Structure 1
Amino acid sequence: MVEHAFKQASEEGQSTDSIETLRRRWSAAKSSGMADELLRNVARTILDEQDAVTLRSLDSSREPSSLDHILALCTLPEVPTGGKGISPDVLADRIAGGWLGRAAGCLLGKPVEKTPRAGIEELLRSNDSWPLKAYITEKGIPDHLLKKYPWNRHYGRESLRENIVCMTEDDDLNYAMVNLSVVESAGADFTTEHIAQAWLTMVPVLSTFTAERVAYVNLLDGVEPPFTAIRRNPYREWIGAQIRSDVFGWISPGDPRGAACLAFRDARLSHVRNGIYGEMFVAAMLAQACVSDEPRVVVETALKVVPPASRLAESIRFVLALPEQESSWPSAVDRLEERYGHYHWVHAINNAALVVAALLYGRGDFERSICNVVMGGWDTDSNGATVGSVAGTMLGRSRLPDAWIAPLNNRIRTSIKSFDKSALTDLADRTCRVAQHSH
């Protein structure tokens, strides 16, 4: 965690001298032979000192973390440009497409989460399933490759083509259910505190990871938002908030700015800067996807809610220009790896760039979009889920390929309180009712 904190501080532009001073102290402590508990105390002290620096620079003019400052930089009109005329039947179809598409894309990427891009290709070429065109199968893969690249231990094997009976549990779907519960009970005026209470009452702590687990523990320690996102949290710009955005987009059809504002209230519990922007951006994409089926329009519209000088905005602009420079998907991913490969494999920025690229190169084709993003590596299940959600929302349930939807058997497993074994279409219907009530 301490090493991640140093890297995060560097990415945020903090002083190299101050980072190196703390790094030397940490190296000296690790090599001193002190007892583990004493070493943990040193780690806490260093993290707290790093947090103090973070707090002083939190609302920079380039990458602010407060909503007022973010919106001051937003170039999207406050009045939504679409959505008022969308019929209830069309909206219901789009939201159902989003839920089912999210599940299918996530399930596709689950077996190879944490497997590097080259490893994914090696596995799939070994049984003639590269390029990817269906759920991943173990059949025909040599034993030595299965040992070299084991399936994801979190239901990876259950997500293989021959074993699929439903959507298995995944945090990429868990938070959509939590947030659905929040907007059902508190409405669109929910607060970050409503989100925090929902986590504590509905989400088992061991079902959380990285920034979410840190924020959860901070809540248990009596820390209040937004400090839950900062205290001893080196994961504050990772992908965690980005995967929690969908419901806010679906209940704001044609209102990407409004969706982004809802997403901000959720994101600030665990993230800052680009971690927040990632959730706002995806929520805005989904709000626009409810009224548009053109990927470039969806992306360009959503980009307007992101501070233009931020690292996330730069990455999205880079991807928007990529199709004119690289015609093939593998070449496009090579370019992304060259430019953003220094980020952790679950960071918000590199994964958001890959998501956008998959949508653009997918050109509205559901299968091509989700397969592209999973073949691209990094956070395969999260990216598969987000691409599946956006593409599924653009197309609607009525236009999704049955080969991807039927294996789900319209059922999802989860440890989220009161949601286990839900029908995905029931979740979509509930979301649609909130959307219609909110607008």
Structure 2
Amino acid sequence: MTATAAAPARPAPAAPLRVTWVQPEDLIGHELRQAAEDGRDAAELARRWQAAGGTTAPGRAGASPAPAGPALRALAGALLDELALLPCPSEADEPTELTAIQREWAPWPGDGGPRPDGGVPAARLEAAWLGRAAGCLLGKPVEKLPLDGIRALARSTGNWPLTGYFTESGLDPAVAARHPWNRRSRATSLAGNIDGMPEDDDLNYPLLGLLLLERHGPGFTTGDVARLWLDELPAGRTFTAERLAYRNLLGGIEPPHTARYRNPFREWIGARIRADVHGWTHPGDPAAAAAQAWRDATLSHTANGVYAAMFVAAALAAAAGGGTDVHRALRAGLAVIPARSRLARAVRRGIALARDEPTGTPAGFATVVDRLHSAYGHHHWVHAVPNAALLAAALTHAGGDFSGSICRAVSGGWDTDSNGATAGSLTGLLAGSPEALPARWTAPLRNRLATGVRGLDGIGFDALAARTAALVVPASPADRTKAPAP
């Protein structure tokens, strides 16, 4: 009997690769929602999409329930192009061009706070970096969870109103089953598990901003931002508007068209999380900080997405000047964006609602949050408008207090880690030094930041502060009256 070798087993077929956030069938629902927000009449295009079997925008995910067939995908692409040609009524009050935005500015200099002759102390910048990290880390385990889930998890563990990092200690298993933590963050961002700051895009982008200024200085162009991304930012680490801008770059599309072509996320929050370094390095000069943030933001965003970045950069510039008044910083942020824009109106509403509730204790802030969700809950949870309203409300209600601000920002839901990060950055600056921040927030960070940005993994916040301080552009009278050219 002759032995025969067994035939090698065939490998199981690989699961089809599904690249999210970029397929036409994933984008069309979001673009239809964007059209409703900016006033375009897209009713007929929406009917054609629904009649063909198309689905609405995913509520929290980056992909539709199932990939589309060739015919439906082709229709989605055609409809995206038709949507781009529709007249957009909101553009009259919400321009993207810098010169048009500047025409809306209040006379400058405005209420931008102190204008130091020298730089920003490294200790103040270290507090800003630490504050950004701590606020982000607080929000990481509940990112993407609905508001009722955040409240249920906090209450179940005796941490409501929020006073510290989320924990599993004492958590009711039934609550945990109904509202699971963000699975990517659970092991690194819950109290007891934190050992340094884990990687997050809310910190990666400020690191890229640092590299941008080190390589090109404050006169960088939007093209320089694009080249930095291609050199240092893996495409798989991008999401929403940034991923589509990246795709457009690889397809030969140049800025600022990278922000518009088949990019329904262009008014979402992504540009805002890139704004901090521009504010930190322009102490007392909100106009210059805002113009610098504009050149960064317009690679991937338009209108309200750009305003969110300008608003934050200007507010941070006011705080970096050495002031301690969060309300002045918010006024400086509002002064550099069009007053009739949806984002400016949302910020003013957030501030007004926060002022209507008793301040000093966090309990009344839940009422503010409920009112904001009632007003803006129709937006996607990553959209710039509702998140700007919540951020402004949290900072106002807490009076600029560090712990109160990050806890309120995260407890309000939506983009929890991004709102916590920005609130922590601003109030860290206002606090003035790492020692002024409560150790319960900063000690677990262990002066160590994990990142995929080349050459920076494991860097300390003190080292980041020193490098940032070397990039500070002191304000001058001339700088306050004109912004850098695009």
TM class by shorter chain equals: over 0.9
2:355 and 2:396 in contact (8 A); partners too: no
- Residue 77 in 1 paired to residue 108 in 2? yes
Match of 2:50 among 13, 27, 45: 27
What residue is the counterpart of 1:392 in the other structure? 428
| Residues 22 and 373 (structure 1), Cα distance of their counterparts in 2 relative to 1, 3 Å cut | same
The TM-score normalised by the length of structure 1 is 0.94
CA distance in 1, matches of 2:257, 2:251: 11
Q: Is the 8 A contact 1:111 1:160 kept in 2?
A: yes
1:39 equivalent in structure 2: 72
Task: Look up the equivalent residue of 1:203 and give its one-letter code.
Answer: L
Does the CA contact (< 8 Å) of 1:80 and 1:257 recur in 2? no
**1:79: how far off?**
8.1
Task: Give the 3-state SS of the residue equivalent to 2:192 in structure 1.
Answer: helix
8 Å Cα contact 2:278/2:292 also seen in 1: yes
Name the SS of the counterpart of 2:40 in structure 1. Answer: coil
Which amino acid counterpart does residue 327 of structure 2 have in structure 1? R
Q: Specify the alignment match of 2:374 in structure 1.
A: 338
- Paired with 1:35 and 1:287, the residues of 2 have a C-alpha distance of 46
Structure 2 portions without partners, runs of 5+? 1-26, 56-65, 359-363, 477-486
Match of 1:417 in 2: 454
Per-residue CA distance 1:175-210 (angstroms, 9 max, x = gap): 100011000010000000011111111111111111
Confirm or deny: 8 A CA contact 2:133 2:421 kept in the other structure: yes
C-alpha separation between the residues in 2 aligned to 1:367 and 1:206? 33
1:23-422 map, 5 Å = 23-30=46-53, 36-53=69-86, 57=88, 60-77=91-108, 83-85=114-116, 88=119, 91-291=121-321, 292-327=323-358, 328-397=364-433, 398-422=435-459
Partner Cα separation in structure 2 for residue 140 and residue 77 of structure 1: 53
- Residue in structure 1 matched with residue 60 of structure 2 by the alignment: none
Per-residue CA deviations over 1:81-135 (Å, capped at 9, x if unaligned) read 65543554x5322211111100000000000001111111111111211111111
| 2: CA distance, partners of 1:251 / 1:25 | 49
Moved over 6 A (4+): 31-35
Letter paired with 2:75: V
The CA deviation at 1:43 is 1.1
Counterparts in 2 of 1:313 and 1:382: CA distance versus 1, 3 Å = same
Q: Percent identity?
A: 47
8 Å contact 2:116–2:284 — kept in the other structure?
Answer: no
Q: Give the secondary structure class of the aligned counterpart of 2:470.
A: helix
Structure 2 equivalent of residue 3 of structure 1? 29
Q: Which residue of 2 aligns with 1:433?
A: 470
**Distance (Å, rounded) in 2 between the aligned partners of 1:140 and 1:204:** 39
Distance 1:408-1:70 versus aligned 2 partners, 3 A rule: same
Q: Distance in 2 between matches of 1:287 and 1:402?
A: 25
Q: What is the rounded CA distance, in whole Å, between the counterparts of 1:48 and 1:4 in structure 2?
A: 13
Whether contact under 8 Å (2:39, 2:88) holds in the other structure is no
Shift of 1:143: 2.2
Flag the structure with larger Rg: 2
TM-score by length of 2: 0.85
- 2:261 and 2:72 mapped to 1: Cα distance? 18
Distance 1:296 1:84 in 2: 17
Letter aligned with residue 22 of structure 1: L
* CA distance in 1 between partners of 2:173 and 2:406 (Å): 27
Deviation, structure 1 residue 339: 1.4
The answer (yes or no) to whether the contact 1:151–1:157 under 8 Å persists in 2 is no
Q: Using the TM superposition, give the Cα deviation of residue 370 of structure 1 relative to its aligned residue in structure 2, in angstroms.
A: 0.6
Question: Which has the larger displacement, 262-271 or 328-337?
Answer: 328-337
Counterparts of 1:301 and 1:76 in 2: how far apart (Å)? 12
Give distance in 1, aligned partners of 2:384 and 2:139: 17
SS in 2 for 1:73: coil
Cα separation, 2, equivalents of 1:34 and 1:113: 25
**Cα separation, partners in 2 of 1:315 and 1:81, compared to 1, 3 Å:** closer
Moved more, 277-286 or 201-210: 201-210
| Pairwise CA distance, 1:31 | 6.6
Q: Given the superposition, is the C-alpha separation of residues 34 and 11 from structure 1 closer, same or farther in structure 2, using an over 3 Å criterion?
A: closer
* Distance (Å, rounded) in 1 between the aligned partners of 2:143 and 2:110: 39
What SS does the aligned partner of 2:175 have? helix
Q: 2-side partners of 1:51 and 1:422: how far apart?
A: 43
Q: Provide, for residues 361-384 of structure 1, a one-character-per-residue CA deviation record: whole Å limited to 9, x for no partner.
A: 111221111111111111100000
Structure 1 range deviating more: 343-352 or 124-133: 124-133
Q: Give the 3 Å change call, closer, same or farther, for CA 76–157 of structure 1 in structure 2.
A: farther
1:436, distance to aligned residue in structure 2 (A): 5.0
Paired with 1:35 and 1:321, the residues of 2 have a C-alpha distance of 45
Structure 1, unpaired ranges of 5+: none
Asked whether the equivalents of residues 287 and 336 of structure 2 are also in contact (C-alpha less than 8 Å), the reply is: yes
**Counterpart code for 1:356:** A
Kept in 2, the 8 Å contact 1:370–1:387? The answer is yes
- Paired with 2:247 and 2:397, the residues of 1 have a C-alpha distance of 40
RMSD over equivalenced CA pairs, Å: 2.1
Q: Cα offset for 1:267?
A: 0.7
The secondary structure found in structure 2 opposite 1:162 is coil
Match of 2:61 in 1: none
- Determine the C-alpha separation between the residues in 2 that align with 1:240 and 1:423: 24
